[in-house]
Amino acid sequence: MQATSTTPAGSSISTQEIARFDALASRWWDPDGPMRPLHRMNPLRVGWIDRRLRRRAGTRLRVLDLGCGAGLASEALAALGHDVLGVDAAPEAITAARAHQATHPAAAHAGTLSYRCSSAEALLQEGERFDAVIALEVIEHVAEPDGFLDLLRGLLRPDGVIVISTLNRTLRSLATAKIGAEYVLRLLPAGTHDWRRFVTPAELGRSAHAAGLRVADLAGMVPGPQGWRESRDTAVNYIALLESQ
């Protein structure tokens, strides 16, 4: 996953975050393992993204899944017919993504799927451009949201869109997404998140505006007995579509 903290100035990569997610790579695809919350949330996230991309831009798009980890969303979006590049700076996560793709070849039969161990900065320098850039559960790991969104905007083709999913910084998210998930229920490894870095919708809107973007769509994501569902409740998890102003 992309992040910023203990790396050279101007980089969106954190060596601490790379090490953290590399350590989880071998169990990333275990639906009952440390990435269980992402497995449960993934159908909602991917369905929400796919519907909005088709509504705005067509049926088969070039999509960048930045901070893709081992490829949960990448595979699902490719299976829906998009041409997906999954990028992560954690090499073991990319190895796990490629291994899963090799053993589940039907997952990408509708679109194309490839993975690259790289960064947003490198893609920008290489001149890569996409119809859509998605960064799921990533922005809460970066220190400079304004700069991060500006970087993502530079990777868009004209009329392209960005999708961000993240955690709101509220007392409820502290109780459930941080303390509850990491220390009580043990749904996530302890230390996965820093609650102080959670991003409120208002802060996301301001960062988007600073990057020449605006929030065009926003929804909460809440768990339930039948799986995760879209909601107006953004107090913990939410997903947003950003477009150029």
Q: Which residue ranges make up the annotated binding site? A: 45, 67, 88, 136
Separation of CA 5 from chain center: 18
Q: Which residue has the tokens 């709101």?
A: 168
Residues of the binding site for S-adenosyl-L-methionine: 45, 67, 88, 136
CA 116 to chain CA mean position, Å: 15
Q: What is the C-alpha to C-alpha distance for residues 73 and 184, in angstroms, rounded to an integer?
A: 27
Is the sign of the CA dihedral 61, 64, 65, 70 positive or negative? positive
Instruction: Match 């090799």 to its residue by tokens.
Output: 102
175 Cβ contact list (under 8 Å, min separation 6): none
- Nearest C-alpha neighbor of 5 from the set 201, 191, 203, 163: 191
**Cα distance from N-terminal residue to C-terminal residue, the chain:** 27
Are 239 and 165 in contact, with CB atoms under 8 Å apart?
A: yes
Contact assessment for residue 67 and residue 135, using Cβ atoms and an 8 Å cutoff: yes
If residue 124 lies in a helix (H) or strand (E), which one and from where to where?
helix 120-125
CB 215, CB 139: distance < 8 Å: no
